[in-house]
Protein backbone atom coordinates (compact mmCIF):
# COMPACT_ATOMS: atom_id res chain seq x y z
CA UNK A 1 0.00 0.00 0.00
CA UNK A 2 1.56 3.28 -1.09
CA UNK A 3 1.27 6.51 0.86
CA UNK A 4 -1.19 9.25 -0.07
CA UNK A 5 1.72 11.20 -1.59
CA UNK A 6 1.61 8.84 -4.55
CA UNK A 7 -1.15 9.33 -7.18
CA UNK A 8 -4.08 6.97 -6.68
CA UNK A 9 -4.84 6.89 -10.40
CA UNK A 10 -1.99 5.28 -12.32
CA UNK A 11 -3.78 4.61 -15.63
CA UNK A 12 -2.47 6.59 -18.63
CA UNK A 13 -4.40 9.78 -19.34
CA UNK A 14 -6.04 10.46 -22.72
CA UNK A 15 -3.00 12.23 -24.13
CA UNK A 16 -0.59 9.45 -23.12
CA UNK A 17 -2.95 6.86 -24.56
CA UNK A 18 -3.21 8.78 -27.86
CA UNK A 19 0.59 9.14 -28.12
CA UNK A 20 1.08 5.44 -27.37
CA UNK A 21 -1.45 4.51 -30.07
CA UNK A 22 0.29 6.75 -32.56
CA UNK A 23 3.68 5.25 -31.75
CA UNK A 24 2.30 1.72 -31.99
CA UNK A 25 0.89 2.51 -35.43
CA UNK A 26 4.42 3.65 -36.44
CA UNK A 27 2.91 6.59 -38.28
CA UNK A 28 5.09 9.71 -38.37
CA UNK A 29 4.19 12.41 -35.87
CA UNK A 30 5.72 15.53 -34.40
CA UNK A 31 6.00 15.34 -30.61
CA UNK A 32 5.81 18.91 -29.34
CA UNK A 33 6.17 17.70 -25.76
CA UNK A 34 9.75 16.52 -26.26
CA UNK A 35 11.97 18.24 -23.72
CA UNK A 36 14.89 15.84 -23.71
CA UNK A 37 17.74 17.82 -25.27
CA UNK A 38 19.56 14.65 -26.31
CA UNK A 39 16.55 13.65 -28.41
CA UNK A 40 15.92 17.00 -30.06
CA UNK A 41 18.34 16.72 -32.97
CA UNK A 42 20.91 19.18 -31.66
CA UNK A 43 24.40 18.87 -33.09
CA UNK A 44 26.83 18.84 -30.19
CA UNK A 45 30.55 19.68 -30.44
CA UNK A 46 32.39 16.42 -31.25
CA UNK A 47 34.82 16.87 -28.34
CA UNK A 48 32.07 17.60 -25.78
CA UNK A 49 32.54 14.36 -23.82
CA UNK A 50 36.31 14.67 -23.56
CA UNK A 51 35.95 16.67 -20.36
CA UNK A 52 34.54 13.52 -18.72
CA UNK A 53 37.94 11.88 -19.15
CA UNK A 54 39.66 14.59 -17.10
CA UNK A 55 41.92 13.02 -14.51
CA UNK A 56 40.46 15.20 -11.75
CA UNK A 57 37.27 13.15 -12.12
CA UNK A 58 38.99 10.31 -10.25
CA UNK A 59 38.77 12.24 -6.99
CA UNK A 60 35.43 12.24 -5.22
CA UNK A 61 34.85 15.67 -3.72
CA UNK A 62 31.44 15.78 -2.10
CA UNK A 63 30.05 19.28 -1.79
CA UNK A 64 26.38 19.71 -0.90
CA UNK A 65 26.03 22.83 -3.03
CA UNK A 66 28.05 21.43 -5.95
CA UNK A 67 31.70 21.72 -6.98
CA UNK A 68 33.10 25.16 -6.30
CA UNK A 69 34.64 25.32 -9.78
CA UNK A 70 31.31 24.41 -11.39
CA UNK A 71 29.43 27.01 -9.34
CA UNK A 72 32.03 29.59 -10.33
CA UNK A 73 31.57 28.65 -13.99
CA UNK A 74 27.78 29.06 -13.68
CA UNK A 75 28.19 32.49 -12.05
CA UNK A 76 30.60 33.48 -14.85
CA UNK A 77 28.07 32.37 -17.46
CA UNK A 78 25.39 34.52 -15.82
CA UNK A 79 27.83 37.44 -15.78
CA UNK A 80 28.42 36.94 -19.51
CA UNK A 81 24.64 37.35 -19.94
CA UNK A 82 24.64 40.54 -17.87
CA UNK A 83 23.27 38.98 -14.66
CA UNK A 84 25.29 39.41 -11.49
CA UNK A 85 25.10 36.33 -9.22
CA UNK A 86 27.73 35.56 -6.59
CA UNK A 87 29.04 32.02 -6.89
CA UNK A 88 28.07 31.45 -3.25
CA UNK A 89 24.45 31.95 -4.33
CA UNK A 90 24.63 29.19 -6.95
CA UNK A 91 23.51 25.72 -5.84
CA UNK A 92 23.84 22.81 -8.25
CA UNK A 93 21.48 19.84 -8.17
CA UNK A 94 21.22 16.71 -10.29
CA UNK A 95 17.95 17.90 -11.82
CA UNK A 96 15.36 20.63 -11.65
CA UNK A 97 13.01 18.22 -9.88
CA UNK A 98 15.60 17.72 -7.14
CA UNK A 99 15.92 21.48 -6.76
CA UNK A 100 12.14 21.79 -6.33
CA UNK A 101 12.02 19.10 -3.68
CA UNK A 102 14.91 20.65 -1.72
CA UNK A 103 13.19 24.04 -1.79
CA UNK A 104 9.83 22.60 -0.75
CA UNK A 105 11.51 20.89 2.21
CA UNK A 106 13.36 24.07 3.10
CA UNK A 107 10.38 26.43 2.88
CA UNK A 108 7.21 24.46 3.56
CA UNK A 109 5.71 22.59 6.47
CA UNK A 110 4.22 19.27 5.31
CA UNK A 111 0.90 20.12 6.93
CA UNK A 112 -0.95 22.27 4.42
CA UNK A 113 1.63 24.85 3.34
CA UNK A 114 1.15 25.95 -0.26
CA UNK A 115 3.19 27.02 -3.24
CA UNK A 116 1.66 29.11 -6.01
CA UNK A 117 2.08 27.34 -9.34
CA UNK A 118 1.58 28.96 -12.76
CA UNK A 119 -1.22 27.72 -15.03
CA UNK A 120 -0.66 26.72 -17.72
CA UNK A 121 2.71 25.23 -16.86
CA UNK A 122 4.59 22.04 -16.19
CA UNK A 123 1.99 19.36 -15.38
CA UNK A 124 4.21 17.48 -12.93
CA UNK A 125 4.07 20.30 -10.38
CA UNK A 126 0.97 18.68 -8.87
CA UNK A 127 2.85 15.45 -8.27
CA UNK A 128 6.12 17.04 -7.19
CA UNK A 129 4.38 19.14 -4.55
CA UNK A 130 2.25 16.23 -3.31
CA UNK A 131 5.36 14.06 -2.91
CA UNK A 132 6.62 16.64 -0.40
CA UNK A 133 3.29 17.01 1.36
CA UNK A 134 2.83 20.50 -0.08
CA UNK A 135 -0.26 21.88 -1.81
CA UNK A 136 0.03 23.38 -5.31
CA UNK A 137 -2.28 26.33 -5.75
CA UNK A 138 -2.57 27.50 -9.38
CA UNK A 139 -2.22 31.16 -10.35
CA UNK A 140 -3.49 31.98 -13.80
CA UNK A 141 -1.24 33.42 -16.47
CA UNK A 142 -2.93 35.76 -18.94
CA UNK A 143 -2.78 35.50 -22.71
CA UNK A 144 -2.45 38.82 -24.58
CA UNK A 145 -0.83 37.64 -27.78
CA UNK A 146 1.65 35.87 -25.53
CA UNK A 147 1.41 34.39 -22.06
CA UNK A 148 2.16 36.81 -19.26
CA UNK A 149 2.39 36.75 -15.51
CA UNK A 150 -0.51 38.68 -14.06
CA UNK A 151 -0.15 40.10 -10.59
CA UNK A 152 -3.90 39.92 -9.97
CA UNK A 153 -3.89 36.21 -10.80
CA UNK A 154 -1.04 35.76 -8.36
CA UNK A 155 -2.83 37.79 -5.74
CA UNK A 156 -5.98 35.67 -6.14
CA UNK A 157 -3.97 32.50 -5.52
CA UNK A 158 -2.30 33.86 -2.40
CA UNK A 159 -3.35 32.42 0.95
CA UNK A 160 -2.21 32.44 4.56
CA UNK A 161 -0.31 29.23 3.82
CA UNK A 162 1.57 30.42 0.72
CA UNK A 163 5.28 29.91 1.18
CA UNK A 164 6.66 30.18 -2.34
CA UNK A 165 5.80 31.16 -5.89
CA UNK A 166 7.00 28.94 -8.72
CA UNK A 167 7.98 30.90 -11.81
CA UNK A 168 9.11 29.16 -14.99
CA UNK A 169 10.95 31.14 -17.64
CA UNK A 170 10.89 30.12 -20.39
CA UNK A 171 7.65 28.48 -19.39
CA UNK A 172 6.64 24.96 -20.33
CA UNK A 173 4.57 24.50 -22.48
CA UNK A 174 3.92 28.13 -23.51
CA UNK A 175 7.56 29.05 -24.21
CA UNK A 176 6.86 32.51 -22.77
CA UNK A 177 9.56 34.38 -20.89
CA UNK A 178 9.23 36.75 -17.98
CA UNK A 179 10.20 40.32 -18.57
CA UNK A 180 12.03 42.17 -15.80
CA UNK A 181 8.77 44.00 -15.13
CA UNK A 182 6.76 40.81 -14.80
CA UNK A 183 9.29 39.17 -12.53
CA UNK A 184 9.35 42.10 -10.13
CA UNK A 185 6.37 40.82 -8.10
CA UNK A 186 8.20 37.56 -7.56
CA UNK A 187 11.57 38.89 -6.56
CA UNK A 188 10.47 41.39 -3.94
CA UNK A 189 9.67 39.22 -1.03
CA UNK A 190 10.94 41.64 1.55
CA UNK A 191 9.36 44.94 0.67
CA UNK A 192 5.82 46.02 1.22
CA UNK A 193 4.12 44.83 -1.81
CA UNK A 194 4.50 44.60 -5.35
CA UNK A 195 2.40 44.27 -8.31
CA UNK A 196 0.94 46.48 -10.78
CA UNK A 197 -1.56 47.83 -13.08
CA UNK A 198 -0.09 51.04 -14.41
CA UNK A 199 -1.24 53.34 -11.58
CA UNK A 200 -2.20 50.89 -8.91
CA UNK A 201 -0.42 48.14 -7.16
CA UNK A 202 -1.50 45.77 -4.49
CA UNK A 203 -0.37 42.37 -3.35
CA UNK A 204 0.51 40.31 -0.34
CA UNK A 205 4.00 39.29 0.51
CA UNK A 206 5.63 37.90 3.60
CA UNK A 207 7.85 40.25 5.53
CA UNK A 208 11.09 39.02 7.04
CA UNK A 209 10.40 37.41 10.40
CA UNK A 210 6.69 37.21 9.70
CA UNK A 211 5.05 33.82 9.27
CA UNK A 212 2.07 35.19 7.43
CA UNK A 213 1.84 37.25 4.27
CA UNK A 214 1.23 40.97 4.57
CA UNK A 215 -1.10 42.95 2.40
CA UNK A 216 0.02 46.41 1.47
CA UNK A 217 -0.60 48.94 -1.19
CA UNK A 218 1.94 50.78 -3.29
CA UNK A 219 -0.39 53.03 -5.14
CA UNK A 220 1.58 55.11 -7.59
CA UNK A 221 4.90 54.06 -6.11
CA UNK A 222 8.03 53.62 -8.17
CA UNK A 223 7.83 49.84 -7.86
CA UNK A 224 4.46 49.84 -9.52
CA UNK A 225 5.52 51.66 -12.63
CA UNK A 226 5.96 49.82 -15.86
CA UNK A 227 9.60 49.49 -16.81
C1 LIG B 1 9.26 23.50 -15.65
C2 LIG B 1 9.98 22.19 -15.61
N3 LIG B 1 10.54 21.80 -14.45
C4 LIG B 1 11.18 20.61 -14.39
C5 LIG B 1 11.30 19.79 -15.48
C6 LIG B 1 12.04 18.50 -15.32
O7 LIG B 1 13.37 18.79 -15.28
P8 LIG B 1 14.42 17.76 -14.68
O9 LIG B 1 14.47 16.61 -15.63
O10 LIG B 1 15.69 18.54 -14.63
O11 LIG B 1 13.93 17.36 -13.32
C12 LIG B 1 10.74 20.15 -16.71
C13 LIG B 1 10.85 19.29 -17.87
O14 LIG B 1 10.32 19.55 -18.93
C15 LIG B 1 10.07 21.39 -16.77
O16 LIG B 1 9.51 21.82 -17.90
For residue 226, what pLDDT is reported?
34
For residue 15, what pLDDT is reported?
86
Which atom from ligand 1 is nearest to the alpha carbon of 94? 10
For residue 185, what pLDDT is reported?
57
For residue 184, what pLDDT is reported?
63
Q: How far is the CA of 166 from the centre of ligand 1 (A)?
A: 12
Final residue belonging to a domain, choices 52, 71, 92: 92
**pLDDT digit string, tens, across residues 119-177:** 999 989 999 999 999 999 999 999 999 999 988 899 999 999 999 999 999 998 898 98
For residue 182, what pLDDT is reported?
65
Q: Which of 172, 174, 176, 177 to mutate to test the pocket of ligand 1 (most atoms within 8 A of CB)?
A: 172
- Which residues of the chain are modeled with pLDDT < 50? 188-227
CATH of the domain at 198: 3.40.640.10
For residue 16, what pLDDT is reported?
87
Residue 38 lies in a domain: no
Alpha carbon nearest to ligand 1 atom 9, residue = 95
Residue 6 lies in a domain: no
Residue ranges making up the domain that contains 88:
62-92
Q: Which of 31, 32, 34, 35 to mutate to test the pocket of ligand 1 (most atoms within 8 A of CB)?
A: 35
pTM score, whole prediction: 0.74
For residue 72, what pLDDT is reported?
98
- What is the 3-class SS of the chain, one letter each residue? CCCCCCCCCCCCCHHHHHHHHHHHCCCCCCCCCCCCHHHCCCCCCCCHHHHHHCHHHHCCCCCCCCCHHHHHHHHHHHHHCCCCCCHHHCCCCCCHHHHHHHHHHHHCCCCCCEEEEEECCCCCHHHHHHHCCCEEEEEECEECCCEECCHHHHHHHCCCCEEEECCCCCCCCCCCCCCHHHHHHHHCCCCCCCCCCCCCCEEEEECCCCCCEEEEECCCCHHHCCC
User: How many domains are there within the chain?
Assistant: 2
80 with 176, same domain?
Answer: no
Amino acid sequence: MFSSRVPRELAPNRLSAAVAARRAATRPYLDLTTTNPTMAGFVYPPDMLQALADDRGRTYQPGPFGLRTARRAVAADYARRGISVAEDRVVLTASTSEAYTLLFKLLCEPSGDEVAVPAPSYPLFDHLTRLDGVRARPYLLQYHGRWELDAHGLDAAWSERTRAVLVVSPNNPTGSRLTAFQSSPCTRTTGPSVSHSRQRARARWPRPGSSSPTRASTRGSRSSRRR
